[in-house]
Amino acid sequence: MKRPGKKGPQAMQVNATLEEVTAAADGMSDKEFRIYMLQMIWSIKEDIKQQNQTMKDHFDNELRKQIQEAKDQLYREIEVIKNKQTEILEMQEAINQLKNSMENTTSRVEHLEDRTSDNEDKVFQLEKNIDSSARLLRNHEQNIQEIWDNIKRPNLRVIGIQEGTELQTKGMSSLFNEIIRENFPDLKNETESQILEAYRTPNVQNHKRSTPRHIIMKMPNIQNKERILKATRERKQITFRGKPIRITADLSTQTLKARRSWNNIFQTLKENGFLPRIVYPAKLSFRMEDEIKTFHDKQKFKEFAARKPSLQNILAKALQEEEMENNNENQQWEVGQ
């Protein structure tokens, strides 16, 4: 049985709408309809195939694009890693160099420390040698001073006798006897004509000097010298032919300096009733707590005073003035150097 229709399958469009297909099918035979349907199916398959191919191409393109982008990104990251690795290697190299430098520096520091230690040992030994030499020098000076003081101990120093007077008195012995008769008549029998030698010092007269040279008189023994000095202290004013003169012990320059160094302390003790005395050759003696205290070394005296608060308070000003004088002398010495 044929289905009536005006159009055959060949005349139908593959992509006809449902209405068009229905309308066309009404006029087709069964065979034509089957052919038509087969064509339609084949056309749909082709469309699907084409769409699949298009989608595949699209997906392939997208995938390739994404893969390429991923590869590019990976390459960039790899490049960054390589660069960072290079930087890391450079940093590692710098660290190694710094480490080597530090090791070298440490080695040099240790070497310098060793040298410094050696130098410190040498300096220490040198300081010990200097201290030892200074101590030996002080001992030597002290020994010389003691020898010189022992030589001078029997001597008297007469100050204020005009130059040439010994010629008028026909010698130093006559001059000495005249001084004794004028000032110490009680000692006349004991001391007259008892000088071993006498001379002026310095040996050569300086005519530009307005004051006369001192006269050194050597007594035969220390007892006579001490009797005259004691009488001099008791009389207080000594004269020769009515003019004032002075009679003192003949002391070395070092001993005079050592005696003068007690001046501030001596005066302070005297003002406070300690009855101080300078004992031959340069010792400080005073009474405290019903005892006689004697010191030949100022440092030992300061240590003693530090243990006696009452004495330390009395001497504070004198010791401070002495410290200032010592500092001034040291500064002047440094400037002179």
Write the DSSP symbol of residue 202: S
pLDDT of residue 331: 59
Per the CB < 8 A criterion, the answer to whether 296 and 278 are in contact is no
Cα torsion 241, 245, 248, 253 to 10°: value is: -130
Tens of pLDDT, residue by residue over 226-235, are: 888 888 888 8
Residues in the chain with pLDDT < 50?
Answer: 1-14, 333
Distance CA 252, CA 147 (A): 10
pLDDT value of residue 4: 40
Q: State residue 208's pLDDT score.
A: 83
What's the pLDDT at 10? 42
Cross-strand bridge partners of residue 293: 286
Structure confidence at residue 16 (pLDDT): 56
Each residue of 143-180: pLDDT tens digit?
787 788 788 888 899 999 998 888 888 888 889 889 98
